[in-house]
Structure 1
Amino acid sequence: MLGLGVERLRGDMNRLLALLFHQGVLDEQFLQLQQLQDESSPNFVSEVVNIYFQESEKLLRNLRSLLMDREFSDYKKMGVHLNQFIGSSSSIGAKRVRNVCVAFRVASEQNNRLGCLRALELLEHEYCYLKNKLHELFQGRDQWEVANECFGKFE
């Protein structure tokens, strides 16, 4: 009975991960990140992703702050923030977030304030979607590990 629950959780996690790849939310870099996780660092991926989220939220605040300044003209500073966002998104396999950042950077290189505002809105949307889905994935993984551990005790 418990085994079915464990298998259902594992199946749900695999389906969610497959969906995120199919939608282009994640790319193969996320799989490479998962391969770095082992018994000596069982929470490696979630720790790296949590650091990414903390840094990304700072970058989003900085980008919004720059764009909300009526006297804004420092598109190079915006480009620096976007380059950081692109790099960190690439490192965890956040493909759609990275792609939006690239488009955002193009708008900033063209000093296109309206394009930057639109890109920021899209970036915030993609970022929130990624964060919610990865939270869901890690929550499912935690449940699976607990259930698998408990089930293993009864085998």
Structure 2
Amino acid sequence: MNCLLSLLFHQGVLDEQFLQLQQLQDETSPNFVSEVVNIYFHESEKHLKKLRGLLSDREFPDYKKVGIHLNQFMGSSSSIGAKRVRNVCLAFRAASEQNNRAGCLRALEFLEHEYCYLKNRLHELFQIEQHRVMAAGVWYPMQD
């Protein structure tokens, strides 16, 4: 688990905000981080779908709405420490501010790639954590 976390920090996938989120988890809310991150995933899927839809209008994409969804996506990504996703949102926003549809489409593709990588790695991290907790809870009776 620590190796995977170290890798994600080294790659710039996560930042210190993720550690702060982890510090909010305790025995009264043992699944706090995974619950917050799963809400993030659910909302992010909505934003990605909306962004795809907005950019599918070849003639007149609504760049103002693109910017609104990107700002929301960027804010929620920042709140969980998804550094690379947030950075891609910044580049995407720059393309949308220039009404650059081709740039937006490239940025959307890159955003989807980074988001999928983040999602897969965090699911892996939570599975490792779940296995660790289960293993720690296993009790083997002493044999006489």
Q: What TM bracket, shorter-length normalisation?
A: over 0.9
Does 1:149 find its partner at 2:137?
A: yes
In the TM superposition, 1:1-150 aligns within 5 A as 13-150=1-138
Q: CA deviation at 1:154?
A: 5.2
Aligned length: 142
1: distance between equivalents of 2:36 and 2:110? Answer: 24
Q: Which runs of 5+ in 2 are unaligned?
A: none
AA paired with 1:66? L
Q: CA deviation at 1:88?
A: 0.1
TM-score of the two chains, using structure 1 as the length reference: 0.89
User: Which digits, 9 at most, give the CA deviation of each residue in 1:88-138, with x for residues without a partner?
Assistant: 000000000000000000000000000000000000000000000000000
2: distance between equivalents of 1:154 and 1:14? Answer: 30
RMSD after superposition: 1.1
Change (3 A) 1:71 1:154: farther
* Identical residues among aligned pairs (%): 77
Range with greater deviation from structure 2 (65-74 or 128-137) = 65-74
Q: Segments of 4+ in structure 1 off by > 6 A? A: none
